[in-house]
Amino acid sequence: MAKVTFEDVLKIYDDNSGGTLAVKDLNLDVKDGEFLVVVGPSGSGKSTTLRMLAGLESITDGEIRIGEEVVNESPPRKRDIALVFQSNALYPHKTVRGNMGYGLRLRTSLSDEEINERVEEAAEMMGIEELLDKKPASLSGGQQQRVATGRAIVREPAVFLFDEPLSDLDANLRKHMRTELARIHSELEITSLYVTHDQEEAMTLADRIAIMNHGELQQVGRPTDVYHNPANVFVADFIGSPNINLFDVEYDRHSSGATLRSESFTYELSEGLTQSITAEDGDALTLGVRPENIEVDPDGEIESTVEVVETVGSDNFLYVRVAGQEGRVRTASTLIPNEGETLRLSFDEDDIYLFDSETEERVLDRSERYEERRELLH
Ligand code: ADP
């Protein structure tokens, strides 16, 4: 087991276009035994981050450490890591047992008996004991993924690296494997770095999430931290489904609080809340409200027009228009308005997020509010 450290890591790919900046000044720790998920849109630098740690990609500047050891120059096989990716090439002519034991046979001096023991242990953990004598071609996609994960477990590495390992699987299987991976991690407690573009996958698997955009780390925190206290507009918008509502407003500070003015509504903030906001009178702000925090309310401040009603069984998602802007509301499944209908909406000031429209950074820290609510639950 080992912690992993990225210190001021920079990656510029040499290519014909004069170099592509893929990862910029990355400072990130994966704690010993932690499951850290790196998430972000396509091209944000996730795979490059993982590949640099694996030793498959050189680094332009900075330092990567596994434990206390600087591994910048170490070849992949010297790094004590195991990599699981989406299309894990299993050897087609070897049985599952052969595939799982191959790495150990190649790199260690363990006896056949010891290798077999470790393979069987890992197979049991992955629930694939019955498949040990089969060949990969006769396995389903999900079973192949289990074998690939089992093969990594057998190696007992210091660090597990996962590169979108579930993206080839169908939705149900993906959810199932997600739970499996979480269970296995809690059994083995091996330091893991997992890359995905799927925010839901990230939220369900991670001890902590690192969110990247354009090669830059945006925020690192527990899933609840990034959801309830997003550092900037990008994180607020990226995490959560349906996406958070974002409205352009002007901040109008006055003696008993502040008013948020948009084209189509005004919203009063209490003096208490206003004291925590680091914005100046007249600033352009972005108001964020999550779909589950908006209520259909005849006395609501906001007038909206329903455009689409999406029924997902447990809830309904209303896609609405608020003046020129789009809005999303999660309601009970029993509330089914007509398309084109006018609905008034309201929300509580405790549930709002505020960002500076220019820098897109938060101007209202929500960490305390979340902790207070957590305490109420316990
Ligand atoms: P992600 O995994 O988040 O999709 P990547 O790490 O693959 O992102 O890519 C980050 C950036 O680096 C992108 O702009 C991508 O086009 C560029 N990139 C990735 N690999 C190479 C390469 N081998 N040569 C040149 N540019 C690359």
Q: Order across the sheet with 81-85: list the strands.
A: 81-85, 159-163, 191-196, 35-39, 208-213, 216-221
pLDDT at 368: 83
pLDDT confidence band for 16 (50 / 70 / 90): confident
Q: Find the angle CA(107)-CA(113)-CA(119) to the nearest 5 degrees.
A: 65
Asked if 229 and 290 touch (Cβ cutoff 8 Å), the reply is no
Beta bridge partners of 257: 254, 270
DSSP 279-337: --TT-EEEEEE-GGGEEE-TT-SEEEEEEEEEE-SSEEEEEEEETTEEEEEEEETT--P
pLDDT at 166: 84
- First-last CA distance in the chain: 33
pLDDT confidence band for 312 (50 / 70 / 90): confident
By C-alpha distance, which of 45, 188, 56, 71 is closest to 122? 188
Beta bridge partners of 247: 287
pLDDT at 378: 64
Give yes or no for residue 171 having a pLDDT over 90: no
Q: Is cis: bond before 242, omega within 30 of 0?
A: yes
Cα(39)–Cα(50) distance, rounded to whole angstroms? Answer: 11
Q: Report the nearest atom of ligand 1 relative to the CA of 47.
A: 2
| Percent of the chain's residues with pLDDT above 70 | 98
pLDDT at 246: 96
pLDDT at 108: 82
Beta bridge partners of 210: 38, 220
pLDDT at 196: 95
pLDDT confidence band for 257 (50 / 70 / 90): very high
Residue 6 Cα to ligand 1 middle (Å)? 18
Residue 20 Cα to ligand 1 middle (Å)? 8
pLDDT confidence band for 340 (50 / 70 / 90): very high
Give yes or no for residue 1 having a pLDDT over 80: no
pLDDT tens figures, 38-80: 999 999 999 999 999 999 999 999 999 999 999 999 998 889 8
Q: Ligand 1 atom 23: the closest Cα is on which residue?
A: 13
Cα(320)–Cα(242) distance, rounded to whole angstroms? Answer: 12
Residue 253 Cα to ligand 1 middle (Å)? 44
